[in-house]
Amino acid sequence: MTEVREDWLKLTLEEALDPDLPICDPHHHLWYQSEHSYTLENFLRDISGGHLITKTVFVESRMMLRNHGTLDMKPVGETEYVQNLVSQSHHPGKTKVAAGIIGFADLTLGQAVAPVLEAHIAAGKGRFRGIRYTTAKDTRVH
């Protein structure tokens, strides 16, 4: 994540083509606990341009992990964090942020991934929808 350049973003302002069309934003992140945070407040500002965004889907970013427990369960912390964040948020508007949450689990665990999935489901309190397991990764040490 690089620094947000507000000056560059303001160079082009676009009008919503159909401001009454309900939209689900199917993929966004929030970054807390990082050098360049992208917060709920940043996201709400970014989607306030006139479109009728009714729901969003938060997708894991491998941040906001649990700082306790086994390595397998650490990603559940992100689901807990986002669910807690949006359930306590009282933002104006019609957008249900993180109506769906996509988390991470190590699918190479085989059957042992079941408790991780169950923990995500419990942590999501009805919002958890699935797993993103990115496989394209350079694992070489540089």
140 pLDDT higher than 70: no
Q: Which pLDDT tens digit goes with each residue over 79-91?
A: 999 999 999 887 7
Q: What percent of the chain has pLDDT over 90?
A: 68
Q: What does the alpha-carbon distance between residue 49 and residue 123 come to, in Å, rounded to a whole number?
A: 31
> 10 Å Cβ neighbour count for 75?
23
Average pLDDT over residues 42-71: 93
List helix spans (H) across 1-142: 6-9, 40-46, 76-88, 114-124
What is the pTM assigned to this prediction? 0.87
Mean pLDDT of the chain: 90
The conformation of residue 38, written as its DSSP 8-state character, comes to: B
**Lowest-confidence segment of 4-13, 57-66, 110-119 by average pLDDT:** 4-13
